[in-house]
Amino acid sequence: MIDRVASGFHPFVIPFVAGMVFVLGYCFIGIFRILLQLPAEDRKRFFISLVTPKTILKNIRDIFCDCLFHVKLWKRNRLLGYMHSSIAFGWFMLIVLGHIEVILFLPHRIRLFYYPIFFNFFVAEADSTIQGSLLFFLMDFFLLIILSGIALAMYKRIRSRIFGMRRTARPSLMNRIGLYSLWAIFPLRLLAESFTAHISGGSFLTIPANWVFRQFLGNDLNLLPTWWAYSIVLDVFMVVLPFSRYMHIPAEMMLIPLRNAGIRVRNARKGFAKVQVLSCPNCGVCIDACPMSVDKANIKDCTVYLTRQLRRKNERRIEEISDKCLLCGKCEAVCQVGVEGPALRIQLRSERKYALSPDYSCIPDPPPAESAGEGKVLYYAGCMSRLVPSVGRSVESVFRKAGIAYEWIDRDGGVCCGRPMYLAGRLEEAEAIVRKNEAQILGYGVGTLVVSCPICYKMFKEKYDLPGIRIVHYIDYMQELLDAGRLKASRSDLCYVYHDPCELGRGMGIYEEPRRLLGRIAAITESPKNRNESICCGGSLGSLTLSFAKREKMTRAALENLYDGKADAIATACPLCLATFSRYADRPVRDIAEIVDAQTVGTITKTEAI
């Protein structure tokens, strides 16, 4: 390989260089601003994580797996995974190989950063070496991989179904310019390198193409225009990048270290949230996942549109989108980037000003500790249980049979756990409810608090300060009672399909325990969408604006997923799911507590606490 252009420069590189300088400058200023926006404590945490070997390794691994190989997409749909990783990894390899070529053959040019990109233009092949032809082969190989990815991307625009996606987000103007320039980059690169292949050398793609072109375009005049075109589309792509979804490429590389540093969303517009929003490539996977999307009118309220509107600062739409969502967390569970749709929305809701704030001084403080609770178990059924009293009754009956000494704190009505208030974005008001409840619970002086509602459970676990009290969901508690032999179970002859409640499954990561407990007393089958892809029952308190009538469609769609040929009945572990499903289901819906109660007898006669 020898230098073909003595000066090492040709004007056609100018558009590329300009685009590159622009995009790098933009990103550096962006990183700087984001770091300034982070709360001081988070910033410190981030810097510390950048020098901690464990997080460094994790960052590198995550960047490779998520940004280049798109491992999560592969798991979703192989074709979709191939499409994204072929372009991302292929492009990465072209850049890396380009640098290797320059280092090997023209080491004095390595300071010119456009050399690796336009290498074939600047060299002439003097002699062919093994290294050289291997590199040329790899270059053509990865170019072919990328081109196959681009071909798939074009096909996806026409027919998204083969990628397992029923609906995709409509691209905006900037996104379309970005998309078309991205599509054009690699065919133009192939053309440019093919026209040059008789000078620079090439491999299995470029040499035959060069031979074909020379048959009817027999002179070198075509060489320059294609290199110009290649450089110009690169420039267009880089100039629209910050204003299009392709911003996700640099943003995700920032998001991964921030997330690995343990930073959380505290403000929906700045800092970490901003990086999340920029990291969304508008892939649209969250549209099909979202339970609201059964109604076409709601598609524009999915998380992909939230990130888009946040970038456009369209306040009216931001408010609509953040208020409608059920906060079921499914978009977050399927998102390959890790955009926290629900957390962003709660923060957006919390920006709202209310003229009237609640005042809970009307709730009396608990009577002085009677110490009656010592050694007992406290049961908190949650306010929803007033609508489905059978859950509380079943838990109580199980306690009695197992001989557990218990107190039922809200048998005659009590205070809400505060999570519905929290979900509505009224964070301080929720805090006030939490403090009221803490005082009430601590007043009993118990060591164990059993709850039956996953919504309460999540709130208790995450937001309550109850020193010395173990908080358990009855699922775990009943399992323990069975293990300890305090209950004897018989098997039901019904077959149940288990519905994962959002707050218990995605919310608290409890998927196996309910299945284990239910499996001891009945046969279970699985629905097509289960565990972290379970479909919200539609009753969620997360949504502020969805009307009762609109929710019906979602409930029916969720039920449709549960109607399995084998299942005689539906089992769940959330009073809200129970109430919502019972309204429309064509078969019985039961809370696991009710099933356990029906299938067990006590083995202990003396009442005591464990």
Partner 1 sequence: MTDFGFKLSKSSAVELDKVDTTLFERLCEASPDARICMNCGSCGATCTAGPYSGMSLRKVLLGLQRGQDVRPLLSGCMLCGKCTMVCPRGINTRNLILNLCRIYD
Beta bridge partners of 404: 608
Q: Which of 426, 458, 473, 590 binds partner 1 (CB under 8 A)?
A: 426
The SS3 assignment for 88 reads helix
251 binds, among partner 1, ligand SF4, none (CB under 5 to 8 A by kind): none
Binding of partner 1 by 346 (CB under 8 A): no
The reply to whether 534 sits near ligand SF4 by the rule CB under 6 A is: no
Alpha carbon of 532 to those of 131, 335, 501, 504, 510: distances in Å?
Answer: 49, 12, 10, 10, 10
Contacting residue, 54, 108, 353, 606, with partner 1 by CB under 8 A = 353
- Residue 487: phi, psi to the nearest 5? -130, 150
The one of ligand SF4, partner 1, none whose footprint includes residue 282, by CB under 5 to 8 A per kind, is ligand SF4
Number of amino acids touching partner 1 (CB under 8 A): 36
List 541, 569, 604, 609, residue binding partner 1 (CB under 8 A): 541
- 354 binds partner 1 per the rule CB under 8 A: yes
Q: Count Cα neighbours of 485 within 13 Å in the Cβ-side half-sphere.
A: 0
Distances in Å between the alpha carbon of 161 and those of 155, 157, 164, 285, 311? 10, 10, 5, 12, 28
User: One symbol per residue from 323 to 342: x for binding ligand SF4 (CB under 6 A), - otherwise; what is it?
Assistant: --xxxxxxx--xx-x-x-xx
Give the interface segment with partner 1, choosing from 178-186, 349-357, 464-472, 591-599 (CB under 8 A). 349-357
205 binds ligand SF4 (CB under 6 A): no
The answer to the question of residue 265 lying near ligand SF4 (CB under 6 A) is no
Which residue among 6, 296, 356, 493 contacts partner 1 (CB under 8 A)?
356
Q: Do strands 377-380 and 123-124 pair parallel, antiparallel, or not at all (unpaired)?
A: unpaired
SS (H, E, C) 50-87: HCCHHHHHHHHHHHHHHHHCCHHHHHHCHHHHHHHHHH
Q: Which is nearer to partner 1, 63 or 363 (CB)?
A: 363
* Sequence-separated (6 or more) residues with CB below 8 Å from residue 111: none
Binding track, positions 452-491, relative to partner 1; x by CB under 8 A: ----------------------------------------
Q: Which of 64, 204, 360, 563: binder of partner 1 (CB under 8 A)?
A: 360
The reply to whether 386 sits near partner 1 by the rule CB under 8 A is yes
**Binding partner selected for residue 415 from partner 1, ligand SF4, none, CB under the kind-specific 5 to 8 Å limit:** partner 1
Among 283, 346, 398, 441, binds ligand SF4 (CB under 6 A): 283
Q: What is the dihedral of CA 388, 394, 395, 399, to 10 degrees?
A: 160
For residue 261, the number of C-alpha atoms closer than 13 Å in the C-beta half-sphere is: 22
Looking at residue 404, the DSSP 8-state letter turns out to be B
Locate 232 and state its tokens. 């110009």
Asked if residue 569 lies in contact with residue 587, where contact means CB atoms within 8 angstroms, the answer is yes
Sorted by sequence, the CB contacts under 8 Å of residue 558 that are 6+ apart come out as 291, 499, 535, 536, 537, 538, 581
Residue 360 interacting partner from ligand SF4, partner 1, none (CB closer than 5 to 8 Å by kind): partner 1
Q: In the set 190, 255, 285, 450, which binds ligand SF4 (CB under 6 A)?
A: 285
Rounded Cα distance between 436 and 417, Å, is: 9
Task: Tell me the C-alpha distance between 221 and 42, whole Å.
Answer: 57
Q: How far is the CB of 287 from partner 1 (least distance, A)?
A: 24
Question: Stretches 108-116, 142-150, 274-282, 560-568: which one binds ligand SF4 (CB under 6 A)?
Answer: 274-282
Determine the Cα–Cα distance for residues 101 and 110; give it in Å rounded to an integer.
10
Stretch that binds partner 1, among 76-84, 86-94, 111-119, 354-362 (CB under 8 A): 354-362
Q: Which of residues 569-608 bind partner 1 (CB under 8 A)?
A: 579
- Which of 76, 590 has the CB closer to ligand SF4? 76
Chain contacts with ligand SF4 (rule: CB under 6 A): 280-286, 289-292, 302-304, 307, 325-331, 334-335, 337, 339, 341-342
Chain contacts with partner 1 (rule: CB under 8 A): 323, 352-360, 362-364, 383-384, 386-387, 413-416, 418, 420-421, 424, 426, 433, 539, 541, 544-549, 579
